[in-house]
Amino acid sequence: MGRTFGLLICLLTVVFSSRSWASDIDGLSYWKRLEPSLSAYIPWASEVVLSEDCVPSGSVMWICHKGAHLLFGVDEKARRLFGCWPVATGRNIGQKRKVGDMRTPEGLFPVQSVHDASYWQPYRDKKTGDTVGYGPWFIRLKTPPWSGIGIHGTDEGHLSEIGTDASHGCIRMKNEDLLRIKEVVRPGQKVLIVP
């Protein structure tokens, strides 16, 4: 009995730990639906399949589709999708044109650095009057000529905005989803942001 119980616990641990990378939504269905627009930026978009082991192992690329408000995690070499998460992008649609225009820049950007933002104080936005929090981590992107653009979490007051045009230009996501991608994200990885 003890050995059977131990094997069951071991099996459940493997099942749940292998799912820890997977997102709560059916990313492959969304990917296939968006594939025509993604193919304009990623020549291999039609080759992408869902990762069977759900654990990224190669060259990770993050793809943010602003129109769909989704962030995809793809193992670029293996052409495997390992996650998909809902996000909020810039309050105003279109390509970023100037500082403070509340647009998310479009293009291919590297991850510059990852910062512990758990101690960062929420700030009060001068334009909107909103008090905004960053969640536990801030994944800074190198987006010249713009600075301060990244992927970050949110505070309880803005959780309902995930999946909409609501950010000040960053890619904002649920804190629990941010914690999932934080385990995989590294400086130098590519982040593709498309309209």
Q: Three-state SS string across 5-28, please? A: HHHHHHHHHHHHHHHCCCCCCCHH
The predicted-structure confidence for 160-192, as pLDDT tens digits, reads as follows: 899 999 998 999 999 999 999 999 999 999 999
The predicted-structure confidence for 88-139, as pLDDT tens digits, reads as follows: 999 999 999 999 899 999 999 999 999 999 888 777 777 777 777 888 999 9
Which residues lie closer than 8 Å to 122 by C-beta, 6 or more apart? 131, 132, 133, 134, 155
What pTM was computed for the model? Answer: 0.84
CA distance linking residue 95 with residue 51, whole number of Å: 31
Q: What is the pLDDT of residue 43?
A: 94
| Dihedrals phi, psi of 74, to nearest 5 degrees | -130, 135
